[in-house]
């Protein structure tokens, strides 16, 4: 530490909250409660959140990290339990690392990046440089070579830029048999070549599951590659596609077997990488025969598979701060509330503050397929506002084909959002490269740099969670309400130029700016 901060080690910590202090971190699932500090809350990071089915909710990303607007942090290598109660933060865990008085959120974060994490690069540049196109909504559960090529060709013909094509569920023969289903993809190598010629990279969806009643599962059981439960039986676990056996990610030989299949897809067919779905903490049990690994460790083991693939994407992850992994949010419904578009910025800020900089705000419009395919059509305004949120985040992913669901006015608003991303793409790519070297977050809360001249943060800045900084010098405040004609913007310390009007404002105040359908409020540091 170079700023006078102190580092302590303990198994139990109680910190009285300082005046106006707010905290970020823990689990992305808890973003609705963050920044912590103004109400009581508790969480055990070793387990999934409870769910109605009793097996735990699907996880997003989580890490044993808490950082505060006043420069304090608590971290560990193992999951811990924490509680905010009556103005005190209590943490119970193993070898807790406590940093006091780093002064700002940036200071606390930078200490962790320098002293605890090991930043090790970034995902493929193409994942940031162009949009991502996922087949999920347009062809759920049954993509084909013909449909994939038609989907991408239509996107490009409508003026969408080339990007990364993700072929989702059911491209393979079976779960665990990661080979193209030739009845649906008669010439996958030619399909990949065509997509490459069109300027697109290609990724395939995979999960750490194996269909249980199959020849493959019997062979893998004999080889010791399937996870066993406490009774020594193959662990069959429920997930959104039924019940499956789990690949034993604690077994290096099982992981090598999986990577052998993935490498064949790269080498023989030209596939660029993989969307690594599932691997949730809820899929594993403490009593499983997993060589001493706990459920969070199995989630981390799944994430570590992606380190060998420059094109990757994860929706569930434990730790991995500073790793070159793309991290997507949990599927979102197409709604204006705090479960839909309102969840995007808070959840991405939590991702960023636990060291996962390379974030993606789910599929534009929402990736929750039941809601997206329900009768009643697409809310075009919501689709545009969602795209505006994504435009200046690290990654921008589509699934629904915009030309199919948008009229000309809304499609034009989408073009404006894409143009805004193109304008700031050099900044974004520079931040990606920097983050890969030193762990610097791309997205930051507006409280990140602290107050002017080391003063106290105002409550409105400390608690702001519906806008973000991209780097230190670009403030982004997307419109998140239907029918809005103005947007309230919280300005952090400094002087800020409204990109739309050119007007310069002093920081640490709230301003109101007019908006239209095409407006994405952006402020540059003056």
Question: Is 482's pLDDT higher than 50?
Answer: yes
Rounded to the nearest angstrom, the gap between the alpha carbon of residue 511 and the centroid of all alpha carbons in its chain is 30
> Would you place residue 178 in the very low, low, confident or very high pLDDT band (cuts 50, 70, 90)?
very high
Is residue 57 within 8 A of residue 282, CB to CB? The reply is: yes
Average pLDDT, the chain: 95
476 pLDDT exceeds 60?
A: yes
For the cut 80, the answer to whether the pLDDT of residue 154 exceeds it is yes
pLDDT at res. 9: 85
- Superfamily of domain covering 1-116: glycosyl hydrolase (family 31) (2.60.40.1760)
With a cut of 70, say whether residue 33 has pLDDT above it: yes
Q: Which CATH architecture has domain 126-207+251-436?
A: Alpha-Beta Barrel (3.20)
Residue 2 has a CB neighbour count (10 Å cut-off) of 9
Specify the pLDDT at position 371: 58
Model pLDDT, residue 4: 47
Domain boundaries, the chain: 1-116, 126-207+251-436
pLDDT of residue 52: 66
pLDDT digits (tens, 9 = 90+) for 197-242: 999 999 999 999 999 999 999 999 999 999 999 999 999 999 999 9
Which band of pLDDT confidence, cut at 50, 70 and 90, is reported for residue 2? Answer: very low
| Distance of alpha carbon 367 from alpha carbon 328, whole angstroms | 11
Average pLDDT of the residues in 16-40: 96
Task: Check: pTM over 0.75? Answer yes or no.
Answer: yes
Phi-psi region for residue 232, left (φ > 0), alpha (ψ -120 to 50) or beta? left
Give the pLDDT score at 55: 66
- Residue 1 is predicted with a pLDDT of 43
The pairing of beta strand 317-318 with beta strand 61-68: parallel
pLDDT number for residue 374: 62
- Dump pLDDT digits (tens) for 408-431: 999 999 999 999 999 999 999 999
**CA–CA separation, 299 and 351 (whole Å):** 16
> What is the C-alpha radius of gyration for the chain, rounded to an integer number of angstroms?
23
- Could you report the per-residue pLDDT of 75-92, keeping only the tens digit for each? 999 999 999 999 999 999
Instruction: Report d(CA 128, CA 57) in Å as an integer.
Output: 29
The two tokens of residue 376 are: 């009643």
Specify whether the CB–CB gap between 335 and 386 falls below 8 A.
Answer: no
Q: How far apart are CA 328 and CA 331, in angstroms?
A: 9
In the numeric block, which tokens belong to residue 498?
């409204």
List Cβ<8 Å contacts ≥24 apart for 85-88: 85/40, 85/42, 86/40, 87/16, 87/17, 88/14, 88/15, 88/16, 88/17
98-120: average pLDDT: 91
- Which of these, 108, 120, 94, lies nearest to 1 by C-alpha position? 108
User: Could you read off the pLDDT of 357-378 as tens digits, one per residue?
Assistant: 999 999 999 988 775 666 567 8
Task: Report, as an integer, the average pLDDT of 122-132.
Answer: 99
User: What integer pLDDT is reported at residue 3 of this predicted model?
Assistant: 45
Which residues is 514 bridged to in the sheet?
A: 486
DSSP per-residue codes, 297-346 = HHHHHHHHHGGG-SEEEESSEE--TT-S--EEPPP--S-SSTTTHHHHHH
| Residues 6 or more apart in contact with residue 240 via CB below 8 angstroms | none
Q: What percent of the chain has pLDDT over 70?
A: 96
Distance CA 283, CA 270 (A): 31
């Amino acid at each position: 530490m170079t700023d006078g901060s102190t580092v302590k080690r303990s198994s139990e910590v109680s910190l009285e909250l300082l005046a106006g202090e707010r905290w970020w971190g823990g689990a992305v699932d808890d973003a609705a409660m963050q920044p912590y500090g103004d109400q009581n809350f508790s969480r055990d990071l070793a387990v999934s959140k409870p769910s109605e089915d009793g097996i735990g909710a699907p996880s997003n990303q989580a890490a044993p990290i808490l950082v505060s607007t006043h420069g304090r942090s608590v971290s560990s290598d193992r999951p811990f339990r924490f509680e905010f109660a009556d103005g005190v933060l209590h943490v119970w865990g193993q070898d807790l690392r406590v940093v006091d008085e780093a002064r700002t959120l940036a200071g606390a974060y930078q200490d962790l990046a320098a002293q605890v994490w090991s930043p090790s690069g970034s995902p493929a540049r193409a994942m940031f440089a162009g949009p991502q196109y996922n087949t999920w909504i347009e062809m759920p559960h049954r993509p084909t070579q013909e449909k994939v090529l038609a989907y991408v060709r239509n996107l490009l013909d409508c003026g969408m830029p080339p990007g990364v094509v993700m072929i989702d569920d059911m491209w393979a023969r079976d779960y665990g048999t990661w080979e193209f289903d030739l009845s649906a993809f008669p010439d996958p190598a030619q399909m990949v070549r065509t997509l490459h010629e069109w300027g697109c990279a290609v990724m395939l969806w995979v999960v750490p599951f194996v269909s249980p009643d199959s020849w493959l599962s019997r062979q893998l059981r004999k080889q010791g590659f399937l996870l066993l439960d406490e009774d020594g039986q193959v662990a069959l676990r429920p997930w959104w596609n039924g019940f499956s056996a789990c690949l034993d990610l604690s077994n290096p030989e099982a992981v090598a077997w999986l990577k052998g299949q993935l490498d064949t897809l790269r080498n023989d067919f030209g596939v660029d990488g993989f969307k690594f779905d599932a691997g949730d903490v809820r899929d594993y049990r403490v009593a499983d025969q997993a060589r001493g690994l706990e459920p969070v460790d199995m989630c981390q083991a799944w994430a570590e598979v992606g380190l060998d693939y420059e094109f990757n994407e994860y929706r569930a992850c434990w730790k991995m701060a500073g790793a070159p992994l793309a991290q997507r949010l949990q599927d979102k419904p197409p709604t204006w509330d705090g479960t839909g578009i309102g969840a995007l910025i808070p959840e991405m800020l939590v991702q960023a503050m636990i060291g996962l900089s390379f974030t993606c705000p789910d599929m534009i419009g929402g990736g929750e397929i039941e809601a997206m395919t329900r009768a009643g059509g697409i809310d075009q305004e919501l689709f545009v506002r969602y795209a505006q949120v994504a435009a200046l985040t690290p990654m921008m992913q589509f699934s629904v084909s915009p030309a199919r669901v948008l009229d000309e006015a809304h499609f034009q608003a989408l073009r404006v959002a894409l143009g805004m991303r193109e304008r700031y793409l050099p900044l974004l790519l520079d931040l990606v490269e920097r983050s890969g070297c030193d762990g610097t977050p791309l997205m930051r809360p507006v409280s990140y740099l602290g107050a002017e001249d080391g003063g106290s943060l105002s409550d409105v800045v400390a608690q702001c969670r519906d806008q973000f900084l991209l780097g230190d010098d670009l403030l982004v405040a997307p419109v998140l309400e239907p029918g809005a004609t103005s947007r309230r913007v919280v300005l952090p310390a400094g002087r800020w130029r409204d990109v739309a009007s050119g007007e310069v404002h002093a920081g640490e105040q709230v301003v109101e700016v007019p908006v239209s359908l095409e407006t994405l409020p952006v402020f540059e540091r003056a």
